[in-house]
Amino acid sequence: MLTLEGIEKRYDDGFMVRVDLEVRRGETLALLGPSGSGKTTVLRLIAGLERPDAGRVLLASREVTRLPPERRGLGFVFQDYALFPHLSVRDNLAFGLVERRWPRERIQARVAALLELVHLEPHAHKRPQQLSGGEQQRVALARALAPEPEVLLLDEPLGALDQRLREGLLLELRRLLRHSQVTAVVVTHDQTEAFALADRVAVMRAGRVVQQGTPEALYNRPKDTWTARFLGHKNVLEPREARAVGLEPRPHVLLPGGVVLGRGDRRMRVTERLFLGGRVGLWLEDRAVRLYWEGTNPGVHEGAEVRVQVVRERAVEVAP
Ligand code: ADP
Ligand code: MG
């Protein structure tokens, strides 16, 4: 559906993006990477807001590399979701459709459907500044969906929201992406967000895609220590630590279930106990290794000594 073929973009400061990507019809791809890894640049290249120095952009097998943004049939929501401040929610949604010369009845029907989709019917007459951040974000999303684009591009769609709003909108966005059958590319630096929204995740580092796959495949088989840590793994063992727990002296990741508390003959000290609400996290240390355990409150305090077993079957080797 959407293909980036040998795309390259160089900036004067020496930064360079170089990617090949494919997004299938109806699929949601997350571009996940730290700040400055080139995610927004890739999205702008897809949108046509940047011209690549090399390579091709294809939409439904049609080359669009040289087409301007408005002729690519895309909807996008960028970070500062720039709504028209002087227009009501309803008129914000209708704006692009009027420009596209949709007939009046069709616009009315489409706007009504969108208001329902993002639960904004009661706010239809309000201006953007009379809405909360989450509501504004939903308007931006609905506006991008309005002309029924084949491809939807979202740059940090939950970025500007506080934690509670994020969680609510995350589920809504997920539902929307699944139900609308739109092909979507979502940029985020947040691994939880990427895993929740995407069918497939492409991890970006320094302008390159370093690994891609389903959330499960990525999490269970991170390619190297950097990717493992970036995906949220805490038990990333150095070679000497791996040896200390009976593994080959190469970098390893312990998957969930790899550290068991209360049995085994390893004695480790609890150096940090983190209360996480429903769960408790423990950092454990002995002379040779530092491990992390998480689960329902085991009732141990900081400074305590506990028995620990490392389940070697839960270890996967990763590149340095
Ligand atoms: P991300 O979205 O992952 O945070 P960006 O794609 O915004 O990363 O930017 C990555 C790098 O690309 C920046 O650190 C900068 O070096 C370069 N860059 C991005 N946009 C521009 C621009 N308009 N002009 C010059 N350099 C840019
Ligand atoms: Mg960005």
Are 127 and 245 members of one domain? no
Q: Which of 199, 227, 255 is the last residue of a domain?
A: 227
pLDDT at 137: 85
Instruction: Compute, in angstroms, the gap from residue 34 CA to the centroid of ligand 1.
Output: 12
Q: Which of 209, 227, 245 is the last residue of a domain?
A: 227
Are 148 and 196 members of one domain? yes
Are 278 and 140 members of one domain? no
Are 215 and 304 members of one domain? no
Q: What is the CATH number of the domain that holds 289?
A: 2.40.50.100
Are 33 and 110 members of one domain? yes
Are 66 and 200 members of one domain? yes
pLDDT digits (tens, 9 = 90+) for 42-99: 999 999 999 999 999 999 889 999 999 888 888 888 766 689 999 999 999 999 999 9
pLDDT digits (tens, 9 = 90+) for 113-146: 999 888 899 999 999 999 988 888 889 988 988 8
What range defines the domain where residue 251 resides? 233-317
Of 15, 31, 186, which is best to mutate to test ligand 1, by the most ligand atoms within 8 angstroms of its C-beta?
A: 15
Are 182 and 248 members of one domain? no
Residue 42 alpha carbon, nearest atom of ligand 1: 6
Instruction: Compute, in angstroms, the gap from residue 157 CA to the centroid of ligand 2.
Output: 11
Tell me the pTM: 0.90
* Residue 14 near ligand 1, beta carbon < 6 Å: no
Are 126 and 239 members of one domain? no
pLDDT digits (tens, 9 = 90+) for 245-293: 999 999 999 999 999 999 988 999 999 999 999 999 999 999 999 999 9
Which residue, judged by its Cα, is nearest atom 5 of ligand 1?
38
* Residue 33 near ligand 1, beta carbon < 6 Å: yes
Are 120 and 218 members of one domain? yes
| Neighbour count for residue 165 (Cβ, 10 Å) | 16
pLDDT digits (tens, 9 = 90+) for 298-314: 999 999 999 999 999 99
Q: Which of 176, 207, 227 is the last residue of a domain?
A: 227
Instruction: Compute, in angstroms, the gap from residue 41 CA to the centroid of ligand 1.
Output: 6
* Residue 227 near ligand 1, beta carbon < 6 Å: no
Are 237 and 200 members of one domain? no
Between the alpha carbon of residue 1 and those of residues 8, 29, 57, 72, 222, the distances in Å are: 20, 12, 11, 12, 27
Are 191 and 43 members of one domain? yes
Instruction: Compute, in angstroms, the gap from residue 302 CA to the centroid of ligand 2.
Output: 39
Determine the residue type at 29: L
Are 177 and 198 members of one domain? yes
